[in-house]
Amino acid sequence: MVSRKKAKGKARKAAKGKEKQSTSADEPQVELDTQMQRLRLEDMLLNNAAHQNAVDEKVQREQQMLRRLNNAGKCLHGLVPKPDGDICNRFVVEFAKEYNQAISSGSKLLHALDTARNATQFAYVEVYNDKSKLE
Instruction: Give the pLDDT band of residue 126 (cuts 50, 70, 90).
Output: confident
Tell which wins on pLDDT, 110 or 46.
110
Residue in 97, 83, 80, 90 with CA at minimum distance from that of residue 126: 90
The secondary structure of 75-95 as a DSSP string is -TT-PPPPPTT-HHHHHHHHH
Q: What percent of the chain has pLDDT over 70?
A: 76
Which tens digit of pLDDT belongs to each residue from 52-68? 777 778 778 877 776 76
Statement: residue 107 has pLDDT above 80: yes
Give the global pTM. Answer: 0.40
Distance of alpha carbon 9 from alpha carbon 15, whole angstroms: 10
